[in-house]
Amino acid sequence: MPDIILRKLVTSVEEIYHEGGPVADTPIKRASILAIIENPFAGRYEEDIQGFMEDLKPLGLDMSKRLVQMLGGADQIQGYGKGAIIGEAGELEHGALWHAPGGYAMRDQLANSNAIVPSTKKVAGVGARLDVPITHVNASYVRSHFDAMEVGINDAPRANEMALVLVMSTGPRVHSRSGGLEASQIKGEDGLR
Amino acid sequence: MSMKIRKIAVNIEETHREIGREISPATRKAVAVAVIENPYAGVYQEDLSELMEMGAELGGLLGDKCVEALGISPSDAESYGKSVMVGENGELEHAAAILHPKLGAPLRKAVEKGAALVASSKKMGSPGQVLDVPLGHKDAAYVRSHFDGIEVRLNDAPRANELMVAVAVTDSGRPLPRVGGLTHEDAKGEDGLR
């Protein structure tokens, strides 16, 4: 299988102090990382693509480690999500190759991460934005941590590229007050509650 | 003065390849943006000194954020720029008050030296709109390889009563510069121009 040909890495960290309500003592942080890589399957239909998942593992791990470092350590991470934007010479299925290497790269870094990593993907042009869903790392039903982060970069993905995305957060929505399962109430066994 | 910050975001772009060529070391650009309440939203205010003081505070804060995110020493910064997007209840002059009187000095401290004019842009806009921050060499404005820009946007800012203030810093020029002119190596950096 082909090597990963990386053109660009794009990171973003947001510190959220308030959204019209009380100012948080410690701002909630959200971070994203995009890797802009060549799509080895661009421009043709290729039946056997699964080997590329293995090739993506080191990249996923590197991206995950950077995110953890940007947010102050693994013990700070409470939410995560992932996504892919596939350039127009590729197909949606190519983005699906990111599920396993992207998701497990994050879960490997976090002690209690039983929850499935939420995800989204699309085929789009240069400059496209992607709203990457975020949920609690250990219990998908934690309502306070349902969130999303918009990502994208003006010069990617070109037609033969894909933008692979990981996101993490350090807490709930800043003024979370919509009820439901709270992070303090979870069992953390089945990844759901 | 009480500046109300709602949000700060710091973005980094690293370019490792361009048009099939490896860029080594990768070029790197940072942009830090603060979303603050506009104290003069919806009113005409003659004296804008409060915004000027906010500019001073943000020049240092955002400049430091960029340098820290790049992981460089201040003297290794090579270019910079600044921009403001004003929410619809403000006026362009609010952006000018943030940017021009006092933001530059603390930013120059954050990047050490900074003999050159800080390139700037301003506009009125709404949440999700793009702000293009111009970039120019920090010590010699004529260094051609460092004319560049970086785009920043936040889907939720600026709200009508807010200001979005951006500072950009790089440790490099464009990925494959080859249009000639004054180079980083040949710049004297004394008069801010060459």
What Cα–Cα distance (Å) separates residue B31 from each residue in A86, B67, B160?
A: 25, 10, 22
| Distance from the Cα of residue B66 to its chain's centroid | 9
Please give the share of chain B, as a percent, with pLDDT higher than 90: 98
- Best mutation target among A6, A10, A14 (most B Cβ atoms within 10 Å) is A14
Locate the chain A residue with the closest alpha carbon to B33. A14
Closest CA to A15 of B98, B83, B68, B118: B68
Q: Three-class SS of residue A106?
A: helix
Q: Does any CB of chain A come closer than 8 Å to the CB of residue B12? A: yes
Amino acid at B133: V
Written as six digits, the tokens of A66 are: 């950077």
Cβ <8 Å between B5 and A16 = no
**Residue B2, pLDDT score:** 80
What's the pLDDT tens digit per position in B133-174? 999 999 999 999 999 999 999 999 999 999 999 999 999 999
Locate the chain B residue with the closest alpha carbon to A155. B151
Decide if B36 contacts B159 (C-beta within 8 A). Answer: no
**Residue A165, pLDDT score:** 98
**Residue A2, pLDDT score:** 62
What Cα–Cα distance (Å) separates residue A7 from each residue in A10, A82, A93, B18?
A: 10, 19, 21, 6
* Contacts with B, A 62-91, CB within 8 Å: none
Cβ <8 Å between A15 and B69 = no
Cβ <8 Å between B11 and A11 = yes
Cβ <8 Å between B16 and A6 = yes
Decide if B35 contacts B5 (C-beta within 8 A). Answer: yes
Pairing of strands A28-38, A6-16: antiparallel
**Residue A24, pLDDT score:** 87
Going residue by residue through chain A, which has 193 residues, state the pLDDT in tens, using 9 for 90 and above: 468 999 999 999 999 999 999 998 899 999 999 999 999 999 999 999 999 999 999 999 999 999 999 999 999 999 999 999 999 999 999 999 999 999 999 999 999 999 999 999 999 999 999 999 999 999 999 999 999 999 999 999 999 999 999 999 999 999 999 999 999 999 999 999 9
**Residue B1, pLDDT score:** 53
* Sequence-separated (6 or more) residues with CB below 8 Å from residue B2: none
Cβ <8 Å between B12 and A9 = yes
Decide if B54 contacts B34 (C-beta within 8 A). Answer: no
Cβ <8 Å between A17 and B8 = yes
Mean pLDDT of B35-55: 96
Helices first, then strands: H and E counts in chain B: 3, 7
Q: Three-class SS of residue A152?
A: strand
Quote the CA–CA distance of A69 and A72 in Å, as a whole number: 5
Quote the CA–CA distance of A188 and A190 in Å, as a whole number: 6
Pairing of strands B5-18, B162-170: unpaired
Mean pLDDT of B75-91: 97
What's the pLDDT tens digit per position in B94-140? 999 999 999 999 999 999 999 999 999 999 999 999 999 999 999 99
Minimal Cβ distance to A14: which of B7, B15, B151: B7
* Contacts with B, A 164-183, CB within 8 Å: none
Cβ <8 Å between A154 and B151 = yes
Q: Does any CB of chain A come closer than 8 Å to the CB of residue B71? A: no
Residue B46 has pLDDT above 80, yes or no: yes
Q: Does any CB of chain B come closer than 8 Å to the CB of residue A159? A: no
Decide if B168 contacts B133 (C-beta within 8 A). Answer: yes
Cβ <8 Å between A8 and B151 = no
Decide if A144 contacts A182 (C-beta within 8 A). Answer: yes
Place of tokens 């720029």: B81
Q: What are phi and psi of A101, to 5 degrees?
A: -65, -35
**How many beta carbons lie within 10 A of that of residue A132, not counting itself?**
26
- Say what the pTM is: 0.91
